[in-house]
Amino acid sequence: MRDQLVFLLQLQQSDVKVRELETAANQLPARLDPLRRDLAKLQTMLDAERAKLAETESWRKAQQDMIDKDRELLKAAQSKLQASKNSKDFGAASREVENRRKSISDREAELKKVVEASASSTAQMQTRDKDVEGVRTELTNSEDAQSEQLGQLRAAVAEAIVARDEARARVDKQWLKIYDTLAAKRGYAVAPVIKGVCQGCHMALPPQLNNILARMESIETCPRCSRLVYRKELLEPPAPAAGPAADESPKT
């Protein structure tokens, strides 16, 4: 019975290992999501700026067309001014010349402001373009590193599954069935007992049962959680998990 308990425990440990590795492999791709979100945000901002700049450019062209048109109208007004034969025509023509000149100079002033502003937006956009490129490169590098890591994880999962299947093969069928049912229902099937308390459900076992466990002649179940139980100190001597020197009490 001791052997079966040991095998069941090994099976449980391999099941945990397979599950942990599978979880790690499944969660890995999502780790780059924040970086992907950053990149998408930057790209959206950049696209918006580019669209605004294109809009400004088409406004600038329209403004330039209107200035050209104003210049033609100014020329016509100037000809009319030269051809004016009386003071009434002269007055009207010179008012028109004046108006056209003012319109041209207003539009040109406006145009100058916009051209300056768009030059600085263009410079800003080039900086941002570089930022986006930097993030993109970072993401590509991270994705490469990650796919390598994922490959290693998947290999580790495959290896762990082989070990798990080997562990399953060592357990007797009757116990496998109980193990699987308990694992499905309780998360895990085998629980250690420490100082008379089941570590699966934290209930103190009847002293009689605890004594039976000490003999290791049978596999017993916890009356409360039904898990297969064993006395921890009998199957797992104090683990060296706390560090290599932890168990070596100095005797000097």
Q: Given the rule CB under 5 A, which residues bind Zn ion?
A: 198, 200-201, 222, 224-225
Nearer to Zn ion, 192 or 200 (CB): 200
Report the alpha-carbon distance of residue 57 to residue 51 in Å, rounded: 10
Nearer to Zn ion, 77 or 190 (CB): 190
Report the alpha-carbon distance of residue 113 to residue 137 in Å, rounded: 36
User: How many CB atoms are closer than 10 A to CB 96?
Assistant: 17
Confirm if 227 and 190 have CB atoms less than 8 A apart: yes
Q: Is 213 exposed, middle or buried (0-12, 13-18, 19+ CB in 10 A)?
A: buried
Nearer to Zn ion, 30 or 184 (CB): 184
Report the alpha-carbon distance of residue 198 to residue 211 in Å, rounded: 14
Please, where are the H alpha helices in 28-86? 33-83
The closest alpha carbon to 8, from 220, 155, 206, belongs to 220
Nearer to Zn ion, 21 or 225 (CB): 225
CB of 188 to Zn ion, least distance (A): 11
Please, where are the H alpha helices in 171-251? 173-186, 207-215, 232-235
Nearer to Zn ion, 94 or 221 (CB): 221
CB of 186 to Zn ion, least distance (A): 9
CB of 224 to Zn ion, least distance (A): 5
